[in-house]
Structure 1
């Protein structure tokens, strides 16, 4: 009987330790995303650089820019509406496409 109780206690503590470690990682990721989102400020679509709008027309035919945001490094976060669905893309002021990792590393400096 003692072995059964000891086995249950060990298994329960192992499972609870594993369950506690995952939310901490998720909270850190959420904080990073919030900080990344705060770096962008809304900008009127008609105030976008010509290079950015030309890149959208060239690489995403039929897409419409529904929202635009800019950060202090003149990097643009664009929400594109394509056939009823929304997608988010990032570009610099020259119309070159950026990955989200590029945005995070530049705003952290």
Structure 2
């Protein structure tokens, strides 16, 4: 009878330890996800601040002139526009990502011509 009791205690202890380990793993995964979201929000805030500092104010991608979007489609096939900004001179700063994973910013005028900064 003692052996049965001791075996039951060890089995219960093992299950409890396993459950606690699983809960700790889930808590760590949740904490990592929250940290990732915080990092993304901080990166977005830094990007917005950097855009404002260089004289460009963020606009909706839909507000880009047709000439600008056509130039991007022609010169960078498959590229996706991630963001856009406009300055007082009428120049547009367009954040694009290419299919190969690279990304960058283009500065163009209303006709889609490159602008030197």
Structure 1 stretches of 4+ moved >2 Å: 34-38
Instruction: Looking at secondary structure, tell me which structure has more strand per residue.
Output: 1
CA distance in 1, matches of 2:76, 2:54: 26
Normalising to structure 1: TM-score of the pair?
0.56
Work out whether 1:96 is the aligned partner of 2:117: no
Aligned-pair Cα RMSD in Å: 1.9
**Count of aligned pairs between the two proteins:** 67
Larger radius of gyration: 2
Work out whether 1:86 is the aligned partner of 2:103: yes
Structure 1, unmatched stretches of 5+, are 1-33, 102-109
The structure with higher relative contact order (CA 8 Å, sep 6+) is 1
Is the contact made by 2:51 and 2:85 (CA closer than 8 Å) also made in structure 1?
no
SS in 2 for 1:69: strand
- The Cα shift of 1:37 comes to 3.5
SS in 2 for 1:62: coil
Is the contact made by 2:51 and 2:57 (CA closer than 8 Å) also made in structure 1?
no
Normalising to structure 2: TM-score of the pair?
0.52
Distance change in 2, residues 1:35/1:67 (3 Å): closer
Structure 2, unmatched stretches of 5+, are 1-49
